[in-house]
Amino acid sequence: MSVKVGQTVEGVVTGITNFGAFVELPGGETGLVHISEVADTYVKDIRKFVKEDEQVRVKILSVDGDKIGLSLRRVKENKEKLVSFEDKMAKFLKESDERQRDLRKNTEAKRGNRDSIK
């Protein structure tokens, strides 16, 4: 199978180094997920994110001869972009209601719930 830049494919982690993880792609080709392409956060130990023989989805960033550059984090970005506006709005409203409920509960606790004194 020939790989093309921009494709998202399944692969198996075959090796882990302190600078990234090697992933065997369908067709037997091997690419590298550089440590900067593992997650959106700072990655000190790549082994906290991937394990050897683990099946992963990767996005192909570059193909330069035998070198194939891969990304794990950009696959996740694409999934997040597929969330509809309505879903995002529903999530926001739910979180907002929960924050308001907690705020009201804390405010009533500090006031001593004066309604019960009447």
Successive 10-residue mean pLDDT values, the chain, 118 residues: 87 96 94 94 93 95 93 77 77 92 86 60
What CATH number is attached to the domain comprising 55?
2.40.50.140
- DSSP letter assigned to residue 90: H
Tell me, yes or no, whether 34 and 49 share the same domain. yes
* Count of domains for the chain: 2
Cα–Cα distance, 118 to 115 (Å, whole number)? 6
Q: Whole domain around residue 96: which residue ranges?
A: 83-110
Centre a 10 Å sphere on the Cβ of residue 111 and count the other Cβ atoms it contains: 9
Verify that 106 and 51 share a domain, yes or no: no
Structure confidence by residue, pLDDT tens digits, 48-60: 999 999 999 999 9
Asked whether residue 2 is assigned to any structural domain, the reply reads: no
* pLDDT score for 87: 81
> How many alpha carbons lie under 13 Å from residue 49 in its C-beta half-sphere?
24
Q: What pLDDT score was predicted for residue 105? A: 87
Q: Is residue 31 part of a domain?
A: yes
pTM for the model stands at 0.64
- Quick one: which of 54, 58, 83 has its CA closest to 6? 58
How many whole angstroms separate alpha carbon 95 and alpha carbon 81? Answer: 20
What digits encode the pLDDT tens for the residues 75-94? 876 655 666 788 888 889 99
